[in-house]
């Protein structure tokens, strides 16, 4: 049993420092994003090298808001957030409805998913992801209790998910609607539903979103372009091809910081969804592998914190927020490398834009709060059955 005592000691030490590691990784990704954005937004300075572009000023403001939100959410007991989850969910739904109100809602690339606030465009679906995660964690942590009028919590979660996804589909944001559905499926699994039920539900949901996408001309053209990228280099596949050119031009060592050619109006959205290829072009393969490694470390650290949450609600919330950031990262990297159809998912912590950045930092705050409330002592119990051994935390 000496090997398990050693394992227990190492696990305890990792558990103690996982919060610091999570903050360090998040700040490192933020720093990379600032440098990458400064380089990619150089074309907007228009020869005034001594001035910081308006994009940088706005991004610094969003970072300040995000760090403040991270601090607040790290100090607020997440159990109090759970108690307020009903009101937070209603508030999130109200914000999504505002996207359709003339004068408030703002349409971008054919999607009505933004609202204008004080000269800034805010994407409510980003913040609602935290609200719906809190709500699902509260009602599904104990599947035996009834939520309202003796209604099953799983049915309540399904109706809630359906309302949010319907609004997102109407707004034209199919990517976020699929993300919300995947969060729902994740909570079903965490709530104890068998995989024999979850897999058909997951497949049906993906098929439904795909059918809706094929019925929308703009989305259908993107899917068809993805299936025939070689035949549409100047059309819907133009952006992806320019992204691949940027990554290929960088090689192993890169062209040098600030020396990207694709950012000079060849690659659209080079400061937002397609900032990763600019990093690869300027700093090379090693930089892109470092970033991928940082994201992997972030997911593993956040997952570790979630694993040692003090209760099931904490486990559910932490796992949900970790998965949301991980899925968005995979989706962005998949799009810029041509492995997935083009969809506007920003690269967490790095891409220009406020809504997703604030969501990610708020998620870090919630994870830190979960980490702060972890049990001071935990026990690892080893059960032996014949030649098999299992470890229970």
Model confidence pLDDT, tens digit, residues 50-94: 445 677 888 899 999 999 999 999 999 999 999 999 999 999 999
Contact criterion met (CB below 8 Å) for 246 and 277? yes
- pLDDT interval class at 45 (50, 70, 90): very low
Other CB atoms within a 10 A radius of the CB of residue 90 amount to: 12
Question: To the nearest whole percent, how much of the chain has pLDDT over 70?
Answer: 85
Which of 341, 338, 350 is closest to 270 using CA atoms? 350
- Note the pLDDT of residue 14: 66
Residue boundaries of the structural domains of the chain: 2-44+52-392
Give the E-state strand segments of 9-143 in sequence order: 105-108, 111-117, 120-122
In this predicted model, what pLDDT tens digit does every residue of 303-326 receive, in sequence order?
Answer: 999 988 888 899 999 999 999 999
Q: Lowest-confidence range among 36-40, 81-85, 135-139?
A: 36-40
CA distance 228 to 249: 23
- Note the pLDDT of residue 80: 93
CA distance 26 to 353: 16
Other CB atoms within a 10 A radius of the CB of residue 101 amount to: 10
Contact criterion met (CB below 8 Å) for 349 and 357? yes
CA distance 280 to 295: 16
CA distance 1 to 256: 53
Contact criterion met (CB below 8 Å) for 345 and 299? no
Contact criterion met (CB below 8 Å) for 250 and 39? no
CA distance 119 to 126: 18
What is the radius of gyration, based on Cα positions, of the chain?
A: 22
Q: Is the pLDDT of residue 348 over 60?
A: yes
Rounded alpha-carbon distances, angstroms, from residue 48 to 45, 54, 257: 5, 12, 18
CA distance 281 to 261: 8
Angle at Cα 257 formed by Cα 251 and Cα 258, nearest 5°? 115
Output the CA torsion 215→241→325→23 (10° steps). Answer: -160
In this predicted model, what pLDDT tens digit does every residue of 91-123 receive, in sequence order?
Answer: 999 998 988 888 777 776 666 778 877 777 888
Whole-structure pTM value: 0.88
Question: Averaged over 267-273, what is the pLDDT?
Answer: 83
- pLDDT interval class at 10 (50, 70, 90): low
- Note the pLDDT of residue 171: 83
SS3 content of the chain, % helix, strand, coil (to 5): 65, 5, 25
Spatial strand order of the sheet with 120-122 comes to 105-108, 111-117, 120-122
Tokens of 291: 């970033």
**pLDDT higher at 102 or 385:** 102
> For the purposes of burial, counting CB atoms within 10 Å of the CB of 285, is it exposed (0-12), middle (13-18) or buried (19 or more)?
middle
Q: Is the pLDDT of residue 153 over 50?
A: yes
Q: Lowest-confidence range among 11-20, 276-285, 335-344?
A: 11-20
């Amino acid at each position: 049993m000496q090997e398990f005592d050693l394992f227990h000691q190492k696990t305890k030490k990792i558990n103690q420092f996982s919060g610091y590691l999570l903050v360090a990784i998040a700040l490192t990704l933020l720093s990379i994003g600032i440098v990458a954005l400064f380089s990619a937004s150089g074309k907007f300075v228009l020869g005034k090298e001594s001035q910081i572009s308006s994009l940088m000023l706005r991004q610094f403001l969003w970072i300040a808001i995000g760090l403040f939100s991270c601090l607040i959410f790290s100090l607020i007991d997440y159990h109090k957030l759970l108690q307020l989850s009903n009101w937070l969910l209603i508030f999130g739904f109200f914000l999504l409805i505002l996207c359709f109100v003339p004068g408030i809602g703002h349409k971008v690339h054919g999607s009505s998913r933004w609202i204008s606030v004080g000269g800034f465009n805010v994407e409510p679906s980003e913040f609602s992801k935290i609200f719906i995660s809190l709500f699902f964690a509260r009602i599904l942590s104990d599947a035996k209790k009834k939520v309202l009028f003796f209604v099953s919590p799983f049915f309540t979660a399904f109706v809630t998910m359906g309302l949010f996804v319907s609004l997102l589909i109407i707004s034209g944001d199919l990517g976020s609607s699929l993300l919300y559905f995947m969060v729902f499926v994740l909570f079903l699994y965490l709530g104890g539903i068998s995989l024999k039920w979850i897999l058909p539900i997951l497949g049906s949901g993906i098929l439904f979103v795909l059918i809706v996408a094929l019925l929308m001309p703009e989305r259908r053209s993107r899917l068809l372009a993805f299936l025939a990228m070689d035949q549409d280099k100047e059309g819907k596949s133009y952006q992806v091809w320019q992204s691949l050119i940027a990554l290929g031009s960088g090689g192993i060592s890169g062209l040098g910081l600030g020396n990207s050619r694709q950012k000079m109006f060849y690659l659209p959205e080079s400061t937002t969804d397609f900032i990763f290829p600019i990093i690869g072009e300027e700093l090379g393969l090693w930089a892109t592998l470092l970033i991928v490694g940082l994201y992997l470390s972030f997911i593993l650290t956040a997952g570790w914190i979630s694993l040692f949450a003090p209760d099931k609600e904490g486990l559910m919330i932490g796992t949900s927020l970790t998965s949301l950031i991980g899925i968005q990262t995979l989706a962005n990297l998949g799009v810029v490398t041509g492995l997935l159809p083009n969809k506007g998912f920003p690269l967490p912590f790095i891409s220009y834009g406020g809504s997703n950045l604030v969501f990610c930092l708020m998620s870090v705050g919630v994870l830190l709060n979960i980490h702060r409330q972890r049990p001071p002592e935990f026990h690892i119990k080893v059960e032996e059955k014949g030649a098999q051994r299992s470890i229970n935390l």
